[in-house]
A = this chain, B = another copy of it.
Amino acid sequence: MRVTIIGTGLIGGSMAIALKEKGFAKHIIGVDKHAVHAEKALALGLVDAVLPLQEAVAQSDLVVLATPINAAETLLPQVLDMADRQVVMDVGSTKKMICASVASHAKRGRFVATHPMWGTEYSGPEAAVKGAFTDKATVICDKANSDADAVACVEEVYRLLGMHLVYMNADDHDVHVAYVSHISHITSFALANTVLEKEKEEDAIFELASGGFESTVRLAKSNPAMWVPIFMQNKENVLDVLNEHIAQLRKFKACLEKENYDYLQELIENANGIRRILK
């Protein structure tokens, strides 16, 4: 199969590696508005060729949109205009707006809205890795709006990547990811800013940083070009979770201020319930 990957960064590049390795893609074409990314992807062997969008789509059976989600929302209707037999899929972190952007498009059926739940805090073609995606969940949204052959093709892609499939409507997806992904990034950004602020007066603040700190702060390295559009598009859900999270933090604050250590104990025991989920 001939595959075009639009956006040759962390996700697009890692997908290219996997699809080549599994023998699914015989030929991979990269499209990237940043020429330097496209050249790098070619030099790294992530893609076999770099072409302008229209030529790339014309030569492909499958088109993967792997740009930041604001660009994907603009590109998707254009790609569908160019498509006939092609299957078009996206891999963005929100699903409601991109689905809305082609809701009444004549070729809506060729599009499959997806979100593989894998990523790292790094970006660009150099961040692409072998063995990404494996054993993680991937979401296919609003499956009934896609043609059966297009869904079958995308399901095959994700099975080859070793992911397990979850089906959901786009609205529910966006609520869920606000809880299990977007809020983690906000807390991590805010925690980094908290400590960096203190660093201005205390040089040695990071000398003692260990594994626990790194674990909660590493997502703060994430790229704003990816995350600002995610927070924009999922604003309402993210605000709901952020308000709840601030309320939860205020409970810890109140325990300390009032020296109510029995309640503090309860809050921590309740949080330990996460052991059921994270093995």
**Which residues of A does B touch, CB under 8 Å?**
117-121, 136-137, 139, 166, 168, 173, 175-177, 179-181, 183-198, 202, 204-224, 227-228, 231-232, 235, 238-239, 241-246, 248-253, 255-257, 259, 261, 264-265, 267-275, 277-278
Contacts and interface: CB of A to CB of B under 8 A. Distances in A.
B207 A184 contact: no
Nearest to A209: B180
Contact of A191 (B183, B192, B197, B206): B183
> Chain A binding site: helix, strand, loop or mixed by DSSP?
helix
A194 B183 contact: yes
A223 B268 CA distance: 8
B166 A228 contact: no
B272 A211 contact: no
A268 B215 contact: no
Given A205-B176, A216-B216, A274-B217, A261 B232 contact: yes
Contact of A189 (B184, B268, B277): B268
B205 A180 contact: yes
Nearest to A188: B216
Nearest to A217: B274
Contacts of A193: 248, 251, 267, 270-271
Given A186-B252, A194-B248, A245-B249, 8 more contacts: A119-B210, A181-B208, A184-B215, A222-B268, A224-B269, A228-B264, A231-B261, A242-B256
Given A189-B267, A228-B261, A137 B208 contact: yes
A87 to B, nearest CB: 23
22 contacts: A118-B210, A119-B210, A136-B210, A176-B204, A176-B208, A177-B208, A181-B213, A183-B194, A184-B217, A187-B187, A191-B245, A193-B251, A194-B241, A196-B273, A196-B274, A217-B274, A220-B272, A221-B275, A222-B272, A231-B256, A235-B259, A242-B256
